[in-house]
Amino acid sequence: MTDRYLRFTGTAPGRFLTRRLGLPQPVTLHRRSAEHPSLDGSLLHLTAGTSALDLAPVLARTGPAGGDDGHPAAVVLDATGVREVEALAEVHAALHPVVGSVAAGGRVVVLGAPLDAADHHQAAVQQGLEGFTRSLGKEIGRGRTVTLLRLTDAEAAESTLRFLLSTRSAYVTGQVVEVGGGPVTAPEDGARPLAGRTALVTGAARGIGEAVAEVLARDGARVVCLDVPAAAAEVGRVAERLGGSALTLDITAADAGARIADALPDGLDVLVHNAGITRDRRLANMAADRWSPVLDVNLASVLRTTDALLARKVLRTGGRIVATASIAGIAGNAGQTNYATSKAGVIGLVRSLAPRALAEHGVTVNAVAPGFIETRMTATIPFAIREAGRRMNSLGQGGLPVDVAETTGWLAHPGSGAVNGQVVRVCGQSLLGA
């Protein structure tokens, strides 16, 4: 659906009027395209404190490499060595002179260290970087994003830096991502990192699920598109267009996991739990027939099918599970106690299962948590509520299904093996929640 306000603010009269009235001034985001697969411009690498990381080789492979015109397309600040309050002044000193010069649509990535449980000074200071990052994300404007990446191993974080320093992360800002030191696999073909891998996407007939299937297929995966029998024609067209295959079944059926396993005799590398429904009502007006289906589709089916596929070892070593949560599961939402419960449950699943799935099966488990995404569903929301959803984030606009898909593609990447147990909001830094 066309965002007319966004188009208006892109005109000279629109910029003048919105500035005078103090209204949001969103700018069109630069998303990945075949013509512009990466950020245009230079990368500025800064350091605060004393760092033990050797970032130069990784940044040379992952960051923009354009000419320096004084407006860097990306700034990476290594603050992993900041351990005392006094050293936070170096964070200010490094970014204060340059943050205003970052190009429109540019990236600022702050690198921090995991919190040290044995050193409360280090933990306090490194936690302080989270407040710094989230605040800067809310004030930087002009379509620029700010992210905090906690890491110990630069090489293990390569796929994450490649994502954050690219046009693929256009709607991910104000987030905190932690990368461990786990094993990573470099793809043979950087342009098609999922080549030779099989991915299953539930709810793939339309919207976010269709976009996820498209991105995974673009990245080389053979995609199995799953949806309900009633959507057989739609999901079949999607699968045919992407050179994949369609699978129709009721994901809430007791034997859904077994049927998926039977349909994948050669195994699976990427499992994307995207299928979901809403049945909105305030709790006082919510009958059981509006509560139960939402919990069954959005949460119970995810638990059952994940358990079944892991038990039957359908997911191969090095596999990826990516579930779709929601900012409603983080911040709550009036009229969505059922939906928010189910999506918070998905977050609980990820945090509990991630360490065990990696240790026992060699599989990572992560989630994306979309905010206001422009889909056919959000197009039916009343105008005033829709506009509030669009504007109440740091980027001042709704996201697109491809934004969720690109984030899923990063988590599915063979080089993302050190990214585990993360819940990444794709919401333009919504003003709801953290």
Is the Cβ–Cβ distance between 366 and 411 less than 8 Å?
Answer: yes
Q: What is the pLDDT of residue 426?
A: 98
Is the Cβ–Cβ distance between 224 and 199 less than 8 Å?
Answer: yes
Is the Cβ–Cβ distance between 62 and 157 less than 8 Å?
Answer: no
Full-prediction pTM beyond 0.85? yes
Q: What is the pLDDT of residue 183?
A: 72
Q: What is the pLDDT of residue 336?
A: 94
In a domain, 41, yes or no: yes
Q: What is the pLDDT of residue 2?
A: 80
Full domain range(s) for residue 147:
31-179
Q: What is the DSSP track for 284-322?
A: GG--HHHHHHHHIIIIIHHHHHHHHHHHTT-EEEEEEEE
Query: Based on the domain organization, do 208 and 170 belong to the same domain?
Result: no
Q: Which of 248, 344, 241, 260 is nearest to 295 (CA)?
A: 344
Q: Which of 37, 48, 45 is nearest to 75 (CA)?
A: 45
Query: Based on the domain organization, do 235 and 290 belong to the same domain?
Result: yes
Query: Based on the domain organization, do 127 and 213 belong to the same domain?
Result: no
Is the Cβ–Cβ distance between 322 and 349 less than 8 Å?
Answer: no
Query: Based on the domain organization, do 166 and 255 belong to the same domain?
Result: no
Query: Based on the domain organization, do 127 and 221 belong to the same domain?
Result: no
Residue numbers in the chain where pLDDT is lower than 70: 1, 182, 433-434
Q: Which of 183, 207, 172 is nearest to 403 (CA)?
A: 172
Q: What is the pLDDT of residue 296?
A: 98
In a domain, 257, yes or no: yes
Q: What is the DSSP track for 255-269?
A: THHHHHHHH-TT-EE
Catalytic residue among 163, 339, 372, 410: 339
CA max distance for the chain:
62
Burial 34-61 (b: 16+ CB within 10 A, else e): eeeebbebbbbbbbbbebebebeebbee
Is the Cβ–Cβ distance between 415 and 185 less than 8 Å?
Answer: yes
Query: Based on the domain organization, do 254 and 391 belong to the same domain?
Result: yes
Report how far residue 318's alpha carbon sits from residue 2's, in angstroms, rounded to the nearest whole number: 40
For residue 7, the 8-state DSSP code is H
Q: What is the pLDDT of residue 396?
A: 95
Assign residue 223 the CATH number of its domain. 3.40.50.720
Query: Based on the domain organization, do 155 and 216 belong to the same domain?
Result: no
- Please count the CA atoms within 13 angstroms of the CA of 379 that sit on its side-chain side: 8
5 part of the active site: no
Q: What is the pLDDT of residue 182?
A: 67
In a domain, 314, yes or no: yes
Report how far residue 142's alpha carbon sits from residue 111's, in angstroms, rounded to the nearest whole number: 22
In a domain, 11, yes or no: no
Burial 213-223 (b: 16+ CB within 10 A, else e): bbbbbbbbbbb
In a domain, 212, yes or no: yes
In a domain, 17, yes or no: no
Query: Based on the domain organization, do 143 and 209 belong to the same domain?
Result: no
Cα–Cα distances in Å, from 404 out to 45, 235, 400? 28, 19, 7
The order of strands in the sheet holding 198-202 is: 245-248, 222-227, 198-202, 268-273, 315-324, 364-370, 423-426
Last residue of a domain, one of 179, 210, 237: 179
Look at the chain and report how many structural domains it folds into. 2
Query: Based on the domain organization, do 158 and 205 belong to the same domain?
Result: no
Q: Tokens for 146? A: 């700010």
Which residue has tokens 């197009």?
A: 379
For residue 230, the 8-state DSSP code is G
Report how far residue 327's alpha carbon sits from residue 346's, in angstroms, rounded to the nearest whole number: 11
Q: What is the pLDDT of residue 433?
A: 66
Residue-wise pLDDT tens digits, 260-295? 999 999 999 999 999 999 999 999 999 999 999 999
